[in-house]
Every structure is written in C-alpha cells, then in structure tokens.
Amino acid sequence: MTSFSAYQNEIYLQGLGGVVPPFTTDPDALEQSARDRLGPGPFWYVAGGAGSGATVRANREAFDRVRIVPRMLTNATERHLGVTVLGTRLPAPVVLAPVGVQSILHPDGELATARAAAELGVPMVLSTASSHTIEEVAEASGDGPRWYQLYWPNDPEVCASLLDRARKAGYTALVVTLDTWTLAWRPHDLDQAYLPFLRGVGTAIPFSDPAFRAGLQKAPEDDLPMAILRWVQMFTGTDKSWDQLAFLREHWNGPIVLKGIQHADDARKAVEFGMDGVVVSNHGGRQVDGAVGSLEVLPSIVEAVGEQVDVLFDSGIRTGADVVKALALGAKAVMVGRPFAYGLAHGGQVGVQHVLRGLLADFDLTLGLSGHRSPADLGPDALRFA
C-alpha cells in the first residue's frame, strides 16, 4: 500500500521545526500566486478559457452540484488507491494532462514535469506541442509511465513519424485530442497577441521532427515564417473522419484513447471504431465557450460505454473531493491540467511534485474519511446531487 496521505504528516512534522510548505496547498491560492509570478501572457495562457469563460466556470459549478455523502465505521483506515487503466497498473487514478509548451512556465518545462511524475509513478501525457523533444522527455521520465498525446497532423508521414518516435521512446498509450483542430476564440490571449505555439518556437517545438523537416523546401533555420506557417497548417483543419482512426491503429501498437468526448454517441463511435477508451473532457473550457460542464456529461458516457472501454475524465479537477466525485460517477481515472502547470511555474520539478503530492494526499484522505477503501468502492450511491 502506498500511503499518499503521508504528505500531510510530513508537512505537520516540518511545522514543528518552524517550516511551512514551499508553496500553498490551496489550489485557488496557487492560481493567484501564479498570477503574481508570471507575466500576463503566460498566466492567461494557462488560466484563460474560450470566449466569456462560461465553460471554465461550468466545469467548476458541475462539481459544486455534486456532494459526497460520507459513511462511518467502514474500516477505511487502510486504503489502496491503485487502479488498472488501459492495461497499466497505476499507483492512483490520477494522470498529468497534456499541457503544451511548458517552457513558457519554467525553463525546464516538460523535463521537470516528467521527473516529478516519474518520482510518484504517475503517468505524464506528453503533448505534441512539447517544448522539449519526445526523446528528451522520455529520458527525463526514467522508469516512469508515459503516454503520448497526438495532435493529429494532416500529413500522414509526419503523423507516422511522431508515433514511431513515441513508441521507440517508450510511450505506451496514445491520447488523440479531437477538440482542438483549431484554437478557439480566446480573448485573453488575443488581447495580448499571445500565441502559445509561437512562444515555443526557439525551443524544440516544431522543428525537430525529421519528417516535418523533410517536407520543407528550406530548413526552418533559413525560413522561419514558412516553417511556422506549415506547422500551423498541419495541425489545423477538419479533414478527418472516424474511419481514418484506422490509420492511427495501424501505426500504434498499444491502447488508443480519444480526448475531448462530451456526447454519448461519440463515445459509442469511439468503441465502434476500435478505440480503447475516451477522455471525457472539454479541454478545460478552452475550446467551446458555452459548452456544458464536463462532469455533467460523464454519467451518460459511462452508461453508454463504461462496460466496454476505460472512461477517463478531465476539466475542473482541483481537489481530492473532485477526484472522488469523478470516480464515483464512473471515471476510471482523472487527468489534471492547470494545477500542475501552476506548480511548474512556482518551482519546476519541486513545484509539480508539491501539487501532485497534495492532490493525491487530499484524495487519499477524502476517500477514507468518506468511508471508502479503494476507488472500486466508489459508485453513485456515494453521492447526492444538489
């Protein structure tokens, strides 16, 4: 048994020596403090949402409408948080969501995140828009579990090249993001003319992939604007269809999950086309302004496909109670995005580790105090709907 709640004891014991945690353990306070540390460009890149921010708020409001009903005297002092997701045993039902261009937040970027995740045995999902190469991040992950997130390029050779590199670098599961085939209208980024993609140029972002380079007439070093244009075009467009998932299946020999699913019929389609799971997600409210809170659609998707494939969840997870709620509604695991990005901004690897240990401790304690010994104990009867 791994006792994630040990982080609580550690903090209190250090307190006896007059030491407090390096960063706040409160997720809202951490966001505020990130605002003070980061410039407005980087801060709003992380914090911002699409349009009016209605969906960012809806994600949180959906959690507020679901309440946990604690049970007593259930022998929950000893807990087992491990789960099997996509055929992999995980120490806890928590995964670091793909977050692009992490060097915006800390010079170590994805390398710091990979080290922190590996330390805890938690999978990191590496974004296609990573500021370090697939191979560099894999090395930083050491023995830690790793999944790769694909922004599905229009060029099949670039697609095959990315998948081949990820497989060779030891990534086991593929997360295909469908909800961001173009960036949404994001007023915070627009008002500062802050395009995260371009802020990553000069780091590794587009230009390390050999198939991408081969498709250019001039090397990116010699014609940067052209290379940027081609890169943006390659990840923008609608010319994808369900039957093209067969291409990904051919080029990926491991589990594939579709990220960005919000409708039960799309989840059924994912199963029909041979996918191994879905991530119920609205991209943290960053894509469709006015979209439904992601937690609101989780039950219908679990009902539709939960018996057949793994249903993961993200968008709005901030606390241990949120993890309990999503699992009780049928998610096998959750992904967390902004909180670890703020941790990264505060202290690189140490900051990510602090956030992750805090979330896992909070989850462990909340699970136990509400009367459950393991994620498998959780079901809808652990909840009430306000």
Q: Give the residue at shortest CB distance from ligand 173.
A: 100
Instruction: Kindly list the distances between the CA atom of residue 237 and the CA atoms of 29, 64, 137, 366, in Å, as whole numbers in the listed order.
Output: 38, 36, 28, 43
Q: Which two tokens stand for residue 271?
A: 């199963």
Instruction: Kindly list the distances between the CA atom of residue 32 and the CA atoms of 24, 35, 43, in Å, as whole numbers in the listed order.
Output: 10, 5, 10
Q: Which does 197 bind (CB under 5 to 8 A by kind): ligand 173, ligand FMN, none?
A: ligand 173
Burial of residue 173 (CB within 10 Å: 0-12, 13-18, 19+) is buried
- For residue 354, the tally of other CB atoms under 10 A from its CB is 23
Q: Please answer whether residues 96 and 341 qualify as being in contact, where contact means their C-beta atoms are separated by less than 8 angstroms.
A: no
The footprint of ligand FMN on residues 138-157 (CB under 6 A) is: 149
Minimal distance in Å, beta carbon 382 to ligand FMN? 22
Find out whether 151 is annotated in a ligand binding site.
yes
Find out whether 286 is annotated in a ligand binding site.
yes
Task: Provide the H-helix boundaries in the chain.
Answer: 6-16, 27-37, 40-47, 54-64, 109-120, 134-141, 156-168, 187-191, 196-199, 210-214, 224-234, 245-251, 264-272, 294-305, 320-328, 338-369
Q: Which of 106, 259, 286, 354 binds ligand 173 (CB under 6 A)?
A: 286
Torsion, Cα of 244, 248, 254, 255 (10° steps): -40
186 residue type, one letter:
R
| Distance separating alpha carbons of residues 234 and 158, to the nearest angstrom | 9
283 binds ligand 173 (CB under 6 A): yes
Find out whether 186 is annotated in a ligand binding site.
yes
Find out whether 201 is annotated in a ligand binding site.
no
Picking from 238, 294, 237, the residue whose alpha carbon sits closest to that of residue 267 is 294
Minimal distance in Å, beta carbon 259 to ligand 173? 10
- Known catalytic residue: 283? yes
**Would you tell me the crossing angle of helices 338-369 and 40-47 to the nearest 10 degrees?**
40
Minimal distance in Å, beta carbon 319 to ligand FMN? 11
101 binds ligand 173 (CB under 6 A): yes
5 binds ligand FMN (CB under 6 A): no
Nearer to ligand 173, 220 or 320 (CB): 220
| Distance separating alpha carbons of residues 63 and 314, to the nearest angstrom | 12
Q: Which does 314 bind (CB under 5 to 8 A by kind): ligand FMN, ligand 173, none?
A: ligand FMN
Minimal distance in Å, beta carbon 19 to ligand FMN? 29
- Stretch of 13-21, 133-141, 211-219, 278-286 contacting ligand FMN, by CB under 6 A: 278-286
Using left for φ > 0, alpha for ψ between -120 and 50, and beta otherwise, residue 311 falls in beta
- For residue 138, the tally of other CB atoms under 10 A from its CB is 21
- Stretch of 75-83, 165-173, 312-320, 358-366 contacting ligand FMN, by CB under 6 A: 312-320
The footprint of ligand 173 on residues 211-270 (CB under 6 A) is: none
Q: Which of 165, 230, 283, 357 binds ligand FMN (CB under 6 A)?
A: 283
Nearer to ligand 173, 183 or 292 (CB): 183
- Stretch of 96-104, 158-166, 219-227, 348-356 contacting ligand FMN, by CB under 6 A: 96-104
46 binds ligand 173 (CB under 6 A): no
180 binds ligand 173 (CB under 6 A): yes
Q: Which two tokens stand for residue 150?
A: 């694909």
Q: Which of 42, 109, 196, 343 binds ligand 173 (CB under 6 A)?
A: 196
The footprint of ligand FMN on residues 195-254 (CB under 6 A) is: none
132 binds ligand 173 (CB under 6 A): no
Q: Which of 83, 129, 162, 344 binds ligand FMN (CB under 6 A)?
A: 129
| Distance separating alpha carbons of residues 41 and 197, to the nearest angstrom | 13
96: β partners: 124, 336
211 residue type, one letter:
A
Interface positions with ligand FMN (CB under 6 A): 45-46, 59, 97-100, 127, 129, 149, 177, 259, 281, 283-284, 314-317, 336-338, 341
The residues of the shown chain that bind ligand 173, judged by CB under 6 A, are: 100-101, 129, 180, 196-197, 283, 286
Can you say which residues are annotated as belonging to the binding site for FMN? 98-100, 127, 149, 177, 259, 281, 314-318, 337-338
